[in-house]
Amino acid sequence: MVGPGKRSEGGGGVRRRALGAATACTVLAAVCGCGAGAGEDRESRERTAVQRVLDRQAAAVRDGKESAYLAAVDPREDDYRSAQRQVFENLRRLPLTQWSYTVGDVRHAGRSAAGEEGGKQGEKEQKAENARGGGSPGGGLVADVRLRYKLRGDDHSPVSATERLSFAERGGKWYVSGELSGSDRQLWEQGEIGVARGKHSLVLGADRGDDELRALADDADRAVEQVDRAWPRPWPHRVVVESPSSLENMARLLDASPSTYEGIAAVTTGEAGEHTDAPADRIVVNPEAYGELSEEGRQVVVTHESVHVASRTHTSDATPLWLSEGFADWVGYGSTDRKPKEAAAELVRAAEEDRLPRELPTDRAFRFGSDTEALGRAYESGWLACRLIADEWGKEKLLALYLRTGSSQKRQDAAVEEAMRAELGIGQKEFTERWRSYVRRELT
């Protein structure tokens, strides 16, 4: 399942949050009675001061110096300092090759670039952060910051994340005093980080046991090898897996409600059609749903997600989700003996009630957080469509259909129609009729 994307360097993309900094400036002249030039000079000095604080902290991360890292943190914010000490210990465990900050919009705490109404909302947010030790008591600055980092051996380009940080001035010196709502949440902020590196994988876990992470790395290594046998096009041949401690923490990483991913074992974050030197996609595991699966089920899930990592650069808006998700399931089930009656539980139930779908699922049918039974039917329908193609036309034609569709510059319907006629010799209407007959034959 392809989920909302992580933040990667470059422009925004499918299901990806871009840097959300407001662009209007606070009009200091109206507040202090100074001229515009003086206000601009003050803003420039404040931005420079904030950048210097973060530059020192970034250097401390790269050099592995905890004292220097904490020297940038507000000495009056005990809870935040404690949390940042854990963050630093976590970062020491990561194979980082780059860590830097770029400061964007800077404004005074309690005010928003969106205007007075936004400023009131900002004050509410600030009070809430102060109450849990993550704010800037007595006023200060708020900055939108872009964090960029790279993992050794996995990220070809920096991953980019947005942070909203508050800063306080103490005795003429500026300090980071808290992280505000609107920041991208990271795994290393969610507990003690563990790392397991496999032959083809890097697994990062928060408050997870070493044995759990090692087992997940083994699953990921087998998944990569299975994908290599099914996907002949170039890809990194590695996966990065993030394993948070709970469904709630998974949802925080993906900036969504927990109900969105309830029952979803894992998702892959990334941008379809992105260039080949992009940061590595992340496979994010839901420990609750994943933990309920059988050994075979867990392997199918990780293999499915690894297919998305491999096929990303050949997937586009022209690729229907029934094809991309169905292909991932087809590869995932490839190493099992599972038959449709065993693996397509929702369609089996629909067949028993004489309500099998008559059309291939639309992209809308794959939305997370929707009716779980309908979602199950959508995935099973896509899998059986790809299974039909592999059975009747051959796996080479299935791959060719995927690649041709993903490379099309046409709208989705036209792209699929053209690709089917070129690779299968029939159009969507006839294919759908064959698919309906195939589904009924396999399930009844």
Mean pLDDT across the stretch 50-79? 98
Reduced to 3 states (helix: H, G, I; strand: E, B; else coil), residue 73 is strand
Residues 180 and 254 in one domain: no
Given 148, 163, 184, which residue is the final one in a domain? 184
We report the CATH number of the domain holding residue 136 as 3.10.450.100
* 334-363 pLDDT per residue, tens: 989 999 999 999 999 999 999 999 999 999
Q: Judge contact between 234 and 309, C-beta under 8 A.
A: no
- Euclidean distance between CA atoms 306 and 317, whole angstroms: 19
> Alpha-carbon torsion 129, 133, 136, 137, what sign?
positive
Q: Is 343 within the bounds of a domain?
A: yes
Q: Judge contact between 368 and 260, C-beta under 8 A.
A: yes
Please report, to the nearest 10 degrees, the dihedral formed by the alpha carbons of residues 163, 104, 76, 135 taken in order: -60
* 247-271 pLDDT per residue, tens: 999 999 999 999 999 999 999 997 6
- Residue 250 buriedness (CB in 10 A; 0-12 / 13-18 / 19+): buried
Q: Judge contact between 159 and 186, C-beta under 8 A.
A: no
- Euclidean distance between CA atoms 231 and 102, whole angstroms: 38
Residues 160 and 282 in one domain: no
Given 184, 208, 234, which residue is the final one in a domain? 184
Mean pLDDT across the stretch 139-157? 94
Residue scoring higher pLDDT (289 or 24): 289
- Euclidean distance between CA atoms 339 and 444, whole angstroms: 12
Residues 119 and 206 in one domain: no
* 276-310 pLDDT per residue, tens: 567 889 999 999 999 999 999 999 999 999 999 99
- Euclidean distance between CA atoms 11 and 17, whole angstroms: 10
Q: Is 7 within the bounds of a domain?
A: no
Residues 293 and 388 in one domain: yes
Q: Judge contact between 363 and 317, C-beta under 8 A.
A: no
| Beta-carbon contacts of residue 248 (< 8 Å; ≥ 6 apart) | 258
Residues 175 and 201 in one domain: no
**pLDDT band with cut points at 50, 70 and 90 for residue 111:** low
Q: What is the mean pLDDT of the chain?
A: 87
Query: Cα angle at 46 between 19 and 89, to 5 degrees?
Result: 60
pLDDT of residue 127: 44
Least confident of 20-34, 169-183, 394-408: 20-34
Please choose, from the candidates 158, 181, 164, 166, the residue with its C-alpha nearest in 3D space to the C-alpha of residue 136.
166
Residue 84 tokens, joined: 């940042």
| Beta-carbon contacts of residue 116 (< 8 Å; ≥ 6 apart) | none
| Best mean pLDDT range from 68-82, 273-287, 360-374 | 68-82
Containing H/E element for 243? strand 239-243
Residues 167 and 248 in one domain: no
Reduced to 3 states (helix: H, G, I; strand: E, B; else coil), residue 204 is strand
Reduced to 3 states (helix: H, G, I; strand: E, B; else coil), residue 102 is strand
How many domains in the chain?
2
Please choose, from the candidates 403, 394, 423, the residue with its C-alpha nearest in 3D space to the C-alpha of residue 232.
403
Residues 266 and 389 in one domain: yes
pLDDT above 90 for 131: no
Q: Judge contact between 193 and 95, C-beta under 8 A.
A: no
Q: Is 412 within the bounds of a domain?
A: yes
pLDDT above 50 for 6: no
Residue scoring higher pLDDT (272 or 345): 345
* 401-416 pLDDT per residue, tens: 999 999 999 999 999 9
**pLDDT band with cut points at 50, 70 and 90 for residue 121:** very low
pLDDT above 60 for 9: no
The domain containing residue 159 runs over which residues? 28-184
Mean pLDDT across the stretch 221-237? 96
We report the CATH number of the domain holding residue 290 as 1.10.390.10
pLDDT of residue 226: 98
Q: Which residue is associated with the tokens 């709208």?
A: 411
Cβ neighbour number for residue 355 with a 10 Å cutoff: 11
Given 164, 184, 204, which residue is the final one in a domain? 184
Q: What amino acid occupies position 133?
A: G
Please choose, from the candidates 172, 180, 86, 186, the residue with its C-alpha nearest in 3D space to the C-alpha of residue 130.
180
* 41-64 pLDDT per residue, tens: 888 999 999 999 999 999 999 999
pLDDT above 60 for 103: yes
Residues 262 and 400 in one domain: yes
pLDDT of residue 20: 33
pLDDT above 90 for 274: no
Mean pLDDT across the stretch 76-92? 97
Residue 163 tokens, joined: 């942070």
Please choose, from the candidates 343, 345, 361, 365, the residue with its C-alpha nearest in 3D space to the C-alpha of residue 353.
345
Cβ neighbour number for residue 317 with a 10 Å cutoff: 14
Q: What is the 3-state secondary structure (H, E, C) of 130-162?
A: HHCCCCCCCCCEEEEEEEEEEECCCCCCCEEEE
pLDDT of residue 335: 86
Residues 219 and 124 in one domain: no
- Euclidean distance between CA atoms 350 and 442, whole angstroms: 13
Q: 367-382: buried (b, 16+ CB within 10 Å) or exposed (e) per residue? A: ebeeeeeebbbbbbbb
Residues 145 and 199 in one domain: no
Residue scoring higher pLDDT (132 or 403): 403
Q: What amino acid occupies position 306?
A: S
pLDDT of residue 43: 85
CA-based Rg of the chain, rounded to a whole angstrom? 25
- Euclidean distance between CA atoms 73 and 86, whole angstroms: 13
pTM, entire model: 0.84
- Euclidean distance between CA atoms 261 and 179, whole angstroms: 25
pLDDT above 90 for 197: yes
Residues 233 and 296 in one domain: yes
| Beta-carbon contacts of residue 335 (< 8 Å; ≥ 6 apart) | 226, 299, 303
Q: Is 10 within the bounds of a domain?
A: no
pLDDT of residue 36: 44
Residues 51 and 100 in one domain: yes
